Structure 1
Amino acid sequence: MSLDAVLARIDDTLPEAMERLFGLMRIPSISTDPAYREDCAKAADWLAKDLESLGFDASARKTPGHPMVVGHAGGAGKHLLFYGHYDVQPVDPLSQWKTPPFEPAIEDTPNGKVIRGRGSSDDKGQLMTFIEACRAWKAVHGTLPGKITVFLEGEEESGSPSLIPFMHENAGELTAEIALICDTSMVSPGVPSIAGQLRGMLKDEFTLHGPKIDLHSGHYGGPGLNPLREIAKIVASFHDPETGRVAVEGFYDGVHEVPPALLEQWNNTGFDEKDYLTSVGYTVPHGEQGYSTLEQQWSRPTLEINGLWGGYQGAGSKTVIPAEAHCKITCRLVGDMDPDDLREKIRAHVAARLPVDARVTWDSDLEGSPAAVMNTDRPEFAAAKRALSDEWDREAVIVGMGGSIPIAGFFKEILGMDAMLIGFANDDDAIHSPNEKYDVKSFHKGIRSWARILAALNE
């Protein structure tokens, strides 16, 4: 089947594709806020009907939360599962938006035209690049290349509480040869990227308790144990001050070095370390010594202090020794690190440093997921890499990702599938923030890229 005709169709119908995206973006599908429950259902129905118009057997499936959209089409050829999410982040603070968040528009910027509005990049604009590629294939050839299952979630921005049960209950119809995930970005503008690994996540929180009540710092200052001072000591003990390495015993169990061939690819991504650092006010990297900024971000584990508080927080002064102090931590995991095992090691580290008359309690809401490492030796990765390179006139790269996208791990764990993570967002798209945008170039070339990938995977 002719790929050139499909690409020409995409170019000719770009205005119509953008208007369809605008229609989806106008639906305020904020999953975390119960006030938008009906809007989430409306977005799911919108997508199901759009897929039906392309010949998919599609429907919005009810869950205890927001609907999942599932559609099947095609027959012979490689069976691909495409995943995206239609829910979006809240828009607060609304006062910082320059345009209404759910009234999408094209805007000229110094770097080219952008689509402005909530969901433009995360993830409605991204998921529609795939659907529009399917639309062009269907318009030109009357059918789709291969067998395609589309799986669109409505709770990604609110913790995905219905996702795992739904995947277990529908494993038979969701399992394919490989999954395609669009909820990602390019490592640098114009550099097509395929994520081969993502860091996992561990969350925990503890409270250090001292005296029974807040104490007068005149009556007890000196003999009294101060929980804020003690928790500061513990927090400081998490890292080696000279090397930046995490000092928790056994923390690096399961961590592997990056293979030289992959490291060479990373060095060819066009990543601008200076811009990466200075854009947020840094002058040098502050992570683990002996590793580049990209390695620190993609292939090394971390332990971060996300919140530290206690005592009086109001205006003026209140002379107390607080009864307790609090700390929130997260760890990014790589390789074969086990989140449950690591949690016990961190808790043991804290327990070993508690002074007399102090005790600690831990949060009981346990959250943790291992890193996702893909088998990038699979032929699908090479085929997708060639397709992306052809479209962007620049060699595509296999990259890591510093963040966590749990769905990739769930595909592996529950469905036994590898995933390719291919997205066309840029780091300055302001996802989760006011004035979110998606480059028109990313949308247009994203559609063309998926058309090329579908062709390459079904050769």
Structure 2
Amino acid sequence: MPPTSLSAVLDHVDAGLPAALERLMGLLRIPSVSTDPAYADHCAAAADWLVADLRSLGIRAESRPTGGHPAVVGHGDGAGPRLLFYGHYDVQPVDPLDLWDRPPFEPEIQDTPRGRVIRGRGASDDKGQLMTFVEACRAWKAVHGALPCAVSFLIEGEEECGSPSLVPFMRANADELRADLALVCDTSMIAPGRPSIASQLRGMMNEEFTITGPRIDLHSGYYGGPALNPLREMARIVASFHDEDTGRVAVEGFYEGVQDVPAGQLQQWKTCGFDEAAYLGSVGLSCAHGEKGYSTLEQQWARPTLEVNGMWGGYTGAGSKTVIPSQAHCKLTCRLVGEMDPDRVRKRLRAHVEARLSPDARVEWSTRVDGSRAAVMNTRRPEFAAASRALEQEWGREAALIGMGGSIPVAGHFRSVLGMDAMLIGFANDDDAIHSPNEKYDLESFHKGTRSWVRILHELGSRP
């Protein structure tokens, strides 16, 4: 396709930016919180919204039932390679609500010292990101009447609660979903304005447990001293998860399957433009607190973690209540790298806790067992070079091949279930506050992200 054809599509993106933002605002207003059953109807509404929007492009789209929230599946007409675009319409809960500067589902464009941003829950993770691809397709269809590639869509509604229905759905619809390559827009850039392609992702293992001591809450005057306090028991055990001097996880066998990063890759990471001081300073930190002996990027991309996400029990209301609680609770996650097996990590973690219980303390584990392995992308595929060219043309800087500290299990599912590789390109920034109050997405990320996908589709459609 001649360059003038590409220019016409890019010009259409620029002219249509206000309308594209209005469409995004409509999607952001839907409170599609997947983890809370109270929002089930809203999740269905978000799926229906996407179906209607894709159909307006001539995509044959429909909302499909799953074991949980519906999945959106769509197929477009087009020649060239078949691509499967993945995104998710569900969002994280908004708690704590009092830390938001405005209602989280009343999005708006705001001016900030660093530029204009789209503010609202889901703006970055993942509604703003997935709509960059949809808007790129809209521009291609408006200018040329067709897409440069055969594009299909899989947009799920359970990514933020572990995607329990995704693998069964993919298996049941494997022949329909299988493509030459999967595209994912749910990642970030290594630095503002530096386009990035994710080459590896950490896996994850979730766990939750309860420690019970006395059969009822106790008066701390009558029983304080002789009674086992589950909160103190929990604090002691949680403190044993890490070596205080080195920051390493102290669970026996935890590091089995962890691999060293090749020296050449480490050198690339050192020169990729990452600003450690800005990364830490944006969240109020002055230094890295992870495993000693590893850089911040190594800690984030190539080392496993064990993080306590929540710990509670007893009385937490206003004032004082002199009680020794019957129970204490803990939620935690482990980020996995290399060949770490989430099931093996879970067994060793449980053994670590059970071996340290005091007499009269009992532990109960969650019956839900979620886990996904780390994923490494096949960057030798020619599509990665094509996408790198497209990104450099749009952003004026060489695209960086980066790791990702987060976990996107679908990248591994594409390979294990559908036998296909994935390419992950996103335009979020580290200060987008995803999963946190006042989430935002830079207007530049949305605009240039859409233009980037236009160029990527052009490059992929131009390949033999």
User: Alignment partner of 2:253: what SS?
Assistant: coil
Change (3 A) 1:48 1:221: closer
Moved more, 332-341 or 419-428: 419-428
Q: Deviations over 1:162-200 (max 9, x none)?
A: 322221111111111211111222121111111111111
Partners of 1:159 and 1:346 in 2: how far apart? 20
The answer to whether the 8 A contact 2:219-2:322 is kept is no
Q: Is the 8 A contact 2:68 2:158 kept in 1?
A: yes
Structure 1: distance between partners of 2:94 and 2:213: 40
- Cα distance change, pair 453–225 in 1 and its aligned pair in 2 (3 A): same
Choose which of 191, 199, 202 in structure 2 pairs with 1:196.
Answer: 199
Matched residues, percent identical?
Answer: 69
Q: TM-score scaled to structure 2, two decimals?
A: 0.90
1:183 aligns with 2:225: no
Is 1:23 paired with 2:26? yes
Maintained 8 Å contact 2:78/2:146: no
Query: What does residue 322 of structure 2 align with?
Result: 318
In structure 2, which of residues 297, 300, 320 is the aligned counterpart of residue 297 of structure 1?
Answer: 300
Instruction: Indicate how the Cα distance of structure 1 residues 302 and 31 shifts in structure 2: closer, same or farther if over 3 A, else same.
Output: closer
* 2:236 match: secondary structure: helix
Once the two structures are superposed, residues 132-188 of structure 1 have per-residue CA deviations (whole angstroms, 9 ceiling, x without a partner) of 111222223222112111111223334433322221111111111211111222121
Q: Which moved more, 1:188-197 or 1:115-124?
A: 115-124
Aligned to 1:286: 289
Indicate whether 1:335 and 2:338 are aligned.
yes
Looking at structure 1, the residues matched to 104 and 231 of structure 2 have their Cα atoms a distance apart, in angstroms, of 41
In the alignment, which of 218, 238, 244 is matched to residue 235 of structure 1? 238
Q: Is the 8 A contact 2:84 2:178 kept in 1?
A: yes
| Pair 1:171-2:177 in alignment | no
Contact 2:119 2:439 in 1 (8 A): yes
Alignment-derived partner of residue 60 in structure 1: 63
Distance 1:57 1:306, change over 3 A: closer
Question: Which residue of 232, 252, 260 corresponds with 2:263?
Answer: 260
How far did residue 93 of structure 1 move? 5.0
Quote how far apart the aligned CAs of 1:80 are: 0.9
* Aligned amino acid, residue 112 of structure 2: T
Task: Show the counterpart of 2:310.
Answer: 307
Q: Is residue 74–residue 145 contact of structure 1 (8 Å, CA) maintained in 2?
A: no
**1:439 corresponds to:** 442
Do 2:211 and 2:234's aligned partners in 1 also have CA atoms closer than 8 Å?
yes
TM-score (norm 1): 0.91
**Is the deviation greater in 197-206 or in 427-436?**
427-436
2: CA distance, partners of 1:213 / 1:27: 42
Matched, 1:362 2:365: yes
Q: 1:373 to 1:108 in 2, by over 3 A?
A: same
CA distance in 1, matches of 2:446, 2:337: 31
Q: Say if 1:75 and 1:230 are closer, same or farther in 2 by CA, change over 3 A.
A: same
The number of equivalent residue pairs is 458
Partner of 1:6: 9
Quickly say closer, same or farther: Cα 1:212–1:178, change in 2 above 3 A: same
Distance 1:81 1:229, change over 3 A: same
Question: What is the distance in 1 between the residues matched to 2:360 and 2:32?
Answer: 50
Question: In structure 2, how many angstroms separate the alpha carbons of the residues matched to 1:214 and 1:37?
Answer: 35
Q: Do the aligned partners of 2:205 and 2:333 also contact (CA within 8 Å) in 1?
A: yes
Instruction: Give structure 2 stretches of 5+ with no counterpart.
Output: none
Q: Are residues 1:428 and 2:431 paired?
A: yes
* Equivalent in the alignment of 1:387: 390
3-state SS, counterpart of residue 152 of structure 2: strand
Matched, 1:148 2:151: yes
Call closer, same or farther: CA 1:237–1:33 in 2, change over 3 Å.
closer
**Equivalent residues of 1:335, 1:371 under 8 A apart:** yes
Residue deviations 1:408-451 (CA, integer Å, cap 9, x gap) = 22222211222111111122223334433222211110011001
